[in-house]
Chains A and B, each alone.
Chain A
């Protein structure tokens, strides 16, 4: 008996030892790559590592570590990362700018040209046309562009206030003006204080005019960025539609509909003021508006924020609210990736995320975030999904843009909201005229001295525009500003134009 027990024990130990040895052999064959992926996010972010890293490890030899930095700090942080040489393996880069091109030339980014064609989902979902104008430098590919084709920009408006004033949903800028007047001067929150405004601007020249920017897109005004028209770069500030844009905002400011305090506060304060029930309008894309709406209702349960179609600048003008490339980011691999095998593994990860992994990214983990499917095969979300989106809101939102939008996909599941919301979003989508592919905004990738001159001219011009809006300069000065801008920046503009051809 003792012999038998002894034999059994020896056998068990031997089996365990062999098993361990066997496991060791397997892991020794599979080199696991530590991949740090740095992203920028607005606001707080749920750490997706718990679910995502676990899922990724099932499919790839990758130990994935997602890191999130505040979007506003991203330029600074990336500069420091690059300067220190402490590069993560993957960076979600903001846009094609002078830094990007210079860093490509310095060898900061991994050349994806020879790899790209091997990944069918990437090839299928990412347009080569977009790559050509965004992430290619000297004919080589250095990033996977993320362009959002279905950005349903709208205005968020207080339906409860519209009802209170007996107004219909605004359809023209004059309607907007009338509504904003009532919000500002007729105390819609009934607190007896003069503390509500039509809307706010911002202390940033580049986002100050965002509230009505989509309205003026059809007039050619899209903020300060370049836009490729045909083969020429055109500068929006110089377009005639800018006059309409500035005149309308000036009229609103003169009438007291713009919160003057908004001119000295940082970004997102407008959203906070809307959430606190102090502004009548907010401009957001409809996905972001869903979060705003949720917050406002939490603060003020009787409020009824709804998205609305942005009125055209003039009757009969088409709206181009949805622009491919209106949102632009790019996923880049850096020089921290030394081996081709590692690069292929990471490209495989990107490919999976747009293919088999896409459902996981959208809906989370089966049994936790969703259970069962409806007749159309769409996973049915559980309460857990709504309580805490499994992979973080911002990042997943960003990533999902990489896939070309399908007609079925209006917004992330939580944003779809009620049937009414879905209907409304569809209506907004229908009135918009979609251009097939307009490229992402580009910044000058050329000599920084020229860029300096152009940026300086741009800052002066935009400061002047702000001064016109707040009444410190006459409206007629816009023409002067446009001329001064052209004189000051002409050389730089022409050189930039040439360099991008």
Chain B
């Protein structure tokens, strides 16, 4: 077996060589830091190091599970995450279907350029653009005033937070999200559409019976990957939109870890929060993978 592996490596050395930087990356930045999880079980003292710090067992987990904010953090994380799946996930699919049906190639490319552009802006720039639009002196309030309505301070209202967050995500990322779907769409056999045309299928029927089944696998795999990232919600975006008046609706694990762990210097406690977060994420990925396999589709493992 060992010899076979050596032979394989020799034969496919170019491919192994190409994989090497990725493997090194994962070892350095993904596997080695796993040891850092030990922080959660000690009262980490920088001067004593991890081995010199006193072992405290589940103390930090106890603190997390008894924290009055745990429910708020879980609720916000799940609400924000699922809203992103429900609202944000379908948009690139719909956009791709729309783009796929645009016959004028020049127009299609122009639309793609415009919708890809926001992806390349940083969240800080995106937040400032949002401020220009939604602040009490912003464009939207100017428009409302022309209609005789009172200005609304959208950015401090908890009720608007979810809509603002999802709207901003869609604006920034939906265009870029079409890339994979468009690639998947291009892999569908054109003869199927020709046959459907001959049979007199409508546009909707073609989407329903050819296009969607054709990209179903891609959609499901992206969905599983998305679920895996669910709980790692975009820190920067939320942090930039969060303020004291909307914090009850905005605070998620990521921002909490940043505030308490980095700003407060409580490394052990926030490592425990991080572990808890990871366990929830793994459970969600495994469950959705299992569910998708039971639906007869291929999972990610």
Q: Interface residues, chain A, CB within 8 Å of chain B?
A: 75-76, 78-80, 82-85, 98-99, 102-103, 106-108, 195, 203-205, 208, 259-261, 263-265, 335, 448-449, 452-453, 456, 459, 462-463, 466-467, 470
Contact = CB atoms under 8 A, between A and B. Distances in A.
22 contacts: A75-B264, A82-B46, A83-B44, A83-B265, A84-B46, A99-B264, A102-B265, A103-B265, A107-B47, A260-B153, A263-B153, A263-B156, A263-B243, A263-B245, A264-B153, A264-B156, A448-B266, A449-B63, A459-B244, A463-B244, A463-B245, A463-B247
Contact of B46 (A76, A106, A208, A264): A106
B191 interface: no
Given A79-B262, A452-B67, A459 B247 contact: yes
Interface stretch (B114-122, B130-138, B176-184): B130-138
A261 B136 contact: yes
Given A83-B46, A335-B47, A264 B155 contact: yes
A106 B45 contact: yes
Of residues B49, B137, B245, B263, which shows the largest number of chain A Cβ atoms within 10 Å of its Cβ?
B245
Contacts of B68: 453, 456
B69 interface: yes
B243 to A, nearest CB: 4
B30 interface: no
Residue with the greatest number of chain A CB neighbours at <10 A, chosen from B262, B265, B267: B265
Given A79-B263, A203-B244, A449-B63, A264 B48 contact: no
Main secondary structure of the interface of B (DSSP, over half): loop
Contacts of B69: 456
B297 interface: no
Contacts of B262: 76, 79-80
Contact of B131 (A102, A264, A335, A463): A264
A224 B52 CA distance: 37
Given A264-B135, A463-B247, 8 more contacts: A83-B44, A99-B264, A205-B244, A260-B136, A448-B264, A452-B67, A466-B245, A467-B245
Contacts of A107: 45, 47-48
Interface string B235-271: 0000000011101100000000000001111110100
Among B44, B137, B264, B269, the one with the most A-chain Cβ atoms within 10 Å of its Cβ is: B264
In the complex, the 5 A-B pairs of residues with the closest C-beta atoms, listed nearest first: A79-B265, A260-B136, A106-B45, A264-B155, A107-B47
A107 B46 CA distance: 9
A259 B63 CA distance: 40
A85 B267 CA distance: 14
A203 B153 CA distance: 13
A204 B267 CA distance: 24
Interface in B22-68: 44-49, 63, 67-68
A84 B262 CA distance: 12
A266 B267 CA distance: 26
Contacts of B263: 75-76, 79
A448 B267 contact: no
A204 B247 CA distance: 11
Contacts of B265: 75, 78-79, 82-83, 99, 102-103
A261 B244 contact: no
A466 B247 CA distance: 12
Nearest to B44: A83
B264 A462 contact: no
B64 to A, nearest CB: 10
B137 A195 contact: yes
A104 to B, nearest CB: 11
Contacts of A102: 265
Contacts of B49: 85
A462 B248 CA distance: 13
A203 B67 contact: no
B269 A462 contact: no
B165 to A, nearest CB: 14
Contacts of A195: 137
Contacts of A448: 264, 266, 269
A107 B262 CA distance: 20
A469 B264 CA distance: 29
A27 B263 CA distance: 43
Contact of B248 (A85, A108, A452, A463): A463
Contacts of B244: 203-205, 208, 459, 462-463, 466
A449 to B, nearest CB: 6
Interface in B219-249: 243-245, 247-248
B137 A264 contact: no
Contacts of B153: 260-261, 263-264, 470
